[in-house]
A and B are shown apart, each in its own frame.
Chain A
């Protein structure tokens, strides 16, 4: 047994030594090989770049010149070069044609049939980078896969292709994707945002289609909340009475980003949302009031200063500080109230918006009324230890 153990240890040492040598050799060969390969790829890219840019649309001579066997250095060089150039709109049609003609699209569409998830995802990603419109149907089939990695990568690829078919395909499958947790909400929102306002009609259609599917509706409303369009107003107003508070909040976010199209009377009709049971809805309503820039909003903002949730109070205070001298009375009322949270929110907003500097400047205002009110506010802030600037300015004056 002792002999066996000895041979076992010697065997283990030899095996480990073998692996060490393998690692050494692999490291050196790999580095050497890759250095050569990338030098060659860079050389080929530099060689063909201007030719491709200057070439006619249907130049068969050039195509013959660019042809290469799949996975060769030339193949990778041309592929990288075309992907760099496709960002440029002037060359885009030519580059898309070249991707098809040189066999890249076929190659990666065949890779979609492989079992390996990584191979599929590489292929999907490449087809997206090539903006391969002819591959949309095959990519939409990938949305039916059960692997979240494949589905997420497909969504990104379709968002790079960025046309009506791609967006429609995504939205047709969105419900099933969410139900099966094949992509996160964040991923969906990020990729859908790539489809900008040009696609608003499609988004409107699907918002109506998914009116009874809150999970999809939340995503679609979140996406369109980044768009600026009068056509969103009617949808948003309708959704402000939805039973789901998150949907109501997103509807208000849409209205907030399109406040320039809104008459204040519309907002007045939504006044009850300032008393909504969900704080997020009240917060969004406060943000909407801030965006209206209407003096009529001051009254509602005053009540929101005393909201139970600190984020709503902060938002109300921030909105008020934008009105500067017009909101002085409301600020004084808040600071004289017994609600310490309202006071803190107001003081913080005055500091963050730097309006506190204006208040100090107001101390020299020719308007006595403004001067008195500003001084009152600063005194209260100083008493709360939230206005060192005023303390400093007082010290300077006394010195």
Chain B
């Protein structure tokens, strides 16, 4: 009993310090994010987007779209990619052993013919069955291959790509016309090589004309609105803040640009993780820091890609569990970078942050839900303090969410209707009463599943 009491007292202090540390980092990221975003929207006024849009010297890009059973959405993403404003690009769709009509839809819609090309297996992949091409759309090529997973499909696309940069796009995404030019501009202008970068990923709303982006509206479903607020928070200050210190560990796999030679030099995407987007970034950091080659991995707060989000709790749970398992896998695979001064700021600060707060945070939070009521029943905690602490935690969460809505208002203003603005603000408050807690629960479940050996993942069907 004494031991239990001692543990509870220790845990209460630990939670207080843990929470303070966690929110200290978040506050730093928010402060940095606000400053960086406000500066960036001034910079946009003079960045040479127009010059690069029409220049033959703009680096050509290979857009790679891995697709597995995406018959509901594949034509949408290919049409949006073919419509972008970019001087020179090729579009490589990799049909990763789909068992639905993904390939047939592409062949019929774009009148593709089978063509025989030499496949150079630089990054080893599953067997390629065929290539499809139309002389009328010479920059589109479809590869049909045996199923190997997203990483395998991306590696296949890299093998066949002709250009020095490639951009990976998820099949359920829609690109804005200027996304790529806005993504490449800071890369071209940077005097330190930018080996990877990503833009903002936003949530699709059904029925919006994404080719022209007229009058965006919020979705009707609460779950989607919660996710919109969450994405705004993650992208507009989380990633912007980390970008300031070249400390990004994740670039969204749905929309990211890489220098091809860099990815090949680290061996391409790994099949050993469910979050290949995070793992490749860690590997790039590791490689370049070990070789002491100057580099940057950037987040650009301007170009946008729209993506589908889970619309029911079950799908959302699967997605969040997968992300958490991916995070744990990636951190474990690169555990000797943690607290290792050889890896600079990444090793000393960013990775420990991700380990102690993002990876283990749900575990601490879940224990808190057990220990703190227990403290109350054992008369170890003052009720007044307990409620004050809860209020502080909730208000701080609201502050972060409202701060991200503020950044959205200052930057993109993609929801011009007043009703949508107030709805977002309302959900920014509401998400702290249930939505964030259930996310923590899923992430906690992921930690348990990971500890008990879950390493792989099943595909989620897109609705279109």
Contact = CB atoms under 8 A, between A and B. Distances in A.
B7 interface: no
B116 A387 contact: yes
A193 B55 contact: yes
Given A2-B385, A6-B388, 6 more contacts: A9-B385, A13-B388, A13-B395, A19-B399, A23-B399, A125-B45
B56 A193 contact: yes
Contacts of A187: 48, 188-189
B273 to A, nearest CB: 31
Interface string A116-150: 00100110110000000000000000000000110
Nearest to B398: A20
Nearest to A226: B56
A186 interface: yes
Interface in A1-37: 2, 5-6, 9-10, 12-13, 16-17, 19-20, 23-24, 26-28, 30-31
Contacts of B398: 16, 20
A30 B399 contact: no
A186 B164 CA distance: 13
A150 to B, nearest CB: 10
The B contact surface, by secondary structure, is: helix
Interface residues of A, number: 57
Contacts of B399: 16, 19-20, 23
Contacts, number: 124
A26 B39 CA distance: 18
Given A16-B399, A20-B398, A31 B421 contact: yes
A118 B42 contact: yes
Interface string A188-214: 011101100000000000000000000
Pick the most buried of B48, B130, B384, B413: most chain A CB atoms within 10 A of its CB: B48
Given A10-B388, A27-B421, A124 B46 contact: yes
B18 to A, nearest CB: 16
Contacts of A310: 120
A28 B421 CA distance: 9
Interface string A377-390: 00001000111110
A125 B46 CA distance: 6
15 contacts: A6-B385, A12-B392, A13-B388, A13-B391, A16-B395, A20-B402, A27-B409, A28-B421, A31-B413, A121-B43, A149-B43, A193-B55, A344-B118, A348-B116, A388-B116
B347 to A, nearest CB: 27
Contacts of A389: 114, 116
Contacts of A352: 115, 117
Interface in B95-135: 114-118, 120, 130, 135
A354 B409 CA distance: 52
A190 B46 contact: no
A16 B392 CA distance: 8
Contacts of A148: 189, 191
B218 interface: no
Contacts of B403: 19, 23
Nearest to B192: A181
